[in-house]
């Protein structure tokens, strides 16, 4: 991988990603995939919290929900006629598949999803993938099942086993001659609200300085870390997050969204370094200063009225989770506990209302 001679960041970031004035990060792929930077521990805290609430692991549900995201991902990278080629070892020889997989695995590593290696691929039968330092095993397994189903046009199941402390082997196995007929992930064309976010960017590679100064990539391990806190990050497709939350809500009902918002609030309250990085007395909107470079959304306003504090974020990657994030950040910054609520005033604009508890 080539690195920018000016800022030292990987060149592909500026080539394949665009940080926009509206607070989003948009891929330059054919699907214009939106990405968002999240802490890996944050993601795990959300999933583990739901598992504890249900008293069983939700990993299979996450994997199943992510499958359609995997299909959509591979469609943007591979010409359709390749997927329509006959199945079998002649049309899809294992050496060729392994060579092609390296490109996909390098892409994943660059996003902080860990390292992967194709151990075995038998067309129309099964595949085995070794993953190292994975950000989320069920998400990677879900992506893998989607890719295999799209390539082979068969129904599959996925399972995994730990082989070392942070290494897993994912096995994708054919279970039927036709892929399951399920509701596909339908992504309507999103019209983002215009914004005026100005991020100073490296003149050579176009990656914002706030990104290059905040995170660094260990490509060999496929790990992104925050330069100051050391926390691990991952650049996650926003539709991946949406797909999983939609799948969980279908399984567990209307209580799920508020549970996830509460888990996000708790995580940010207990772990955020905002209490150290933003001086007390600063404008309250400053606690959302990282939102644009992380692709979380555009923090357009924040103000105080008596015991209430209001925040407005446009183009949030997920309204409820962003509301939980804002609430937790405020509690971490002030050391206070607040009541919270939010409303989407217009599509793409979320207003969060916090009220101090007496």
Q: Which residue has the higher pLDDT, 12 or 136?
A: 136
**Cα(92)–Cα(127) distance, integer angstroms:** 12
Query: What mean pLDDT do residues 159-166 have?
Result: 96
Per domain, the residue ranges of the chain are: 56-176, 254-356
Q: What is the pLDDT of residues 291-331, one digit of tens each?
A: 999 999 999 999 999 999 999 999 999 999 999 999 999 99
The CA distances from residue 334 to 197, 274, 279, 299, 338, in Å, are 26, 10, 10, 19, 10
Helices 238-252 and 40-54: angle between axes, nearest 10 degrees: 10
* pLDDT score at 20: 96
Half-sphere exposure of 321 (CA within 13 A, CB side): 22
Average pLDDT over residues 84-91: 58
Residue 141: pLDDT band with limits 50, 70, 90: very high
pLDDT at 88: 58
What whole-number distance in Å separates Cα of residue 135 and Cα of residue 202?
A: 28
Q: Is 306 exposed, middle or buried (0-12, 13-18, 19+ CB in 10 A)?
A: exposed
**pLDDT tens-place string over residues 12-52:** 888 889 999 999 999 987 778 899 999 999 999 999 999 99
The tens digit of pLDDT for each residue in 90-99 reads 556 778 788 8
Fold of 56-176: Muramoyl-pentapeptide Carboxypeptidase; domain 2 (3.30.1380)
| Residue 74 pLDDT grade (very low, low, confident, very high; cuts 50, 70, 90) | confident
Strand 25-27 versus strand 34-39 pairing type: antiparallel
Residue, of 246 and 133, whose pLDDT is higher: 133
Exposure b/e, 189-206, CB count within 10 A at least 16 = b: eeebbebebeeebbeebb
| CATH of the structural domain 254-356, one choice from 3.20.20.210, 3.40.50.720, 3.30.700.30, 3.30.1380.20 | 3.30.1380.20
- pLDDT tens digit sequence for 203-215: 999 999 999 999 9
Lowest mean pLDDT among 53-57, 159-163, 170-174: 53-57
pLDDT at 89: 59
The HSE-up count of residue 243 (CA atoms within 13 Å, CB side) is 26
| pLDDT digit string, tens, across residues 267-280 | 999 999 999 999 99
Whole-Å CA distances, 211 to 41, 180, 225, 274, 335: 19, 41, 11, 17, 28
279 contact partners, CB below 8 Å, separation of at least 6: none
pTM: 0.92
Q: Is the pLDDT of residue 187 over 70?
A: no
194 within 8 A of 184, measured Cβ to Cβ: no
Q: Round the average pLDDT of the chain to a whole number and report it.
A: 90
Q: Is the pLDDT of residue 356 over 90?
A: yes
Nearest-angstrom CA–CA distance, 296 and 175: 38
Kindly state the percentage of the chain with pLDDT values over 70.
93
Through-space distance between the first and last CA atoms of the chain, rounded to whole angstroms: 55
Q: Are strands 34-39 and 232-237 parallel, antiparallel or unpaired?
A: antiparallel
DSSP letter for 21, please.
T
DSSP category for residue 356: E
Domains 56-176 and 254-356 alike in fold: yes
What confidence score (pLDDT) does residue 199 get? 95
Q: Residue 51 burial (CB < 10 Å; 0-12/13-18/19+)?
A: middle
CB-facing half-sphere around the CA of 132: CA atoms within 13 A: 14
Strand segments, DSSP code E, in 177-214 are: none
Residue 338 scores a pLDDT above 70: yes
């Amino acid at each position: 991988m080539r690195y920018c001679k000016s800022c030292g960041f990987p060149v592909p970031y500026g080539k394949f990603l665009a940080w926009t004035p509206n607070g989003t990060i948009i891929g330059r792929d054919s699907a214009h995939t939106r990405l968002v930077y999240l802490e890996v521990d944050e993601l795990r805290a959300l999933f583990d919290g739901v598992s504890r609430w249900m008293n069983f692991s939700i990993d299979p549900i996450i994997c199943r929900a992510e499958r359609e995201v995997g299909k959509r991902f591979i469609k943007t990278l591979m010409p359709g006629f390749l997927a329509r080629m006959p199945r079998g070892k002649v049309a899809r020889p294992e050496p060729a598949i392994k060579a092609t997989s390296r490109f996909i695995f390098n892409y994943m590593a660059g996003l902080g999803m860990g390292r992967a290696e194709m151990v075995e691929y038998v067309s129309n039968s099964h595949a085995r993938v070794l993953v190292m330092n994975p950000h989320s095993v069920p998400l990677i397994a879900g992506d893998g099942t989607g890719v295999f189903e799209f390539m082979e046009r068969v129904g599959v199941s996925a399972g995994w086993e730990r082989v070392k402390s942070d290494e897993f082997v994912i096995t994708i196995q054919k279970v039927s001659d036709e892929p399951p007929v399920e509701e596909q992930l339908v992504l309507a064309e999103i019209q983002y609200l215009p914004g005026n976010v100005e991020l100073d960017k490296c003149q050579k590679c176009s990656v914002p300085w706030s990104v290059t100064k905040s995170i660094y990539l260990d490509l060999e391990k496929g790990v992104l870390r925050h330069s100051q806190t050391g926390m691990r990050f991952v650049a996650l497709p926003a539709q991946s997050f949406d797909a999983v939350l939609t799948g969980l809500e279908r399984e567990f009902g209307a209580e799920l969204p508020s549970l996830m918002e509460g888990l996000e609030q708790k995580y940010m309250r207990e772990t955020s370094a905002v209490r150290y990085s933003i001086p007390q007395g600063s404008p309250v909107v400053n606690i959302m200063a990282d939102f644009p470079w992380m692709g979380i959304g555009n923090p357009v306003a924040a103000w105080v009225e008596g015991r209430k504090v209001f925040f407005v974020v446009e183009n949030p990657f997920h309204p409820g989770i962003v509301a939980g994030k804002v609430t937790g950040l405020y509690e971490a910054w002030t050391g206070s506990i607040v009541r919270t609520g939010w409303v989407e005033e217009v599509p793409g604009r979320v207003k969060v209302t916090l009220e101090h508890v007496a």
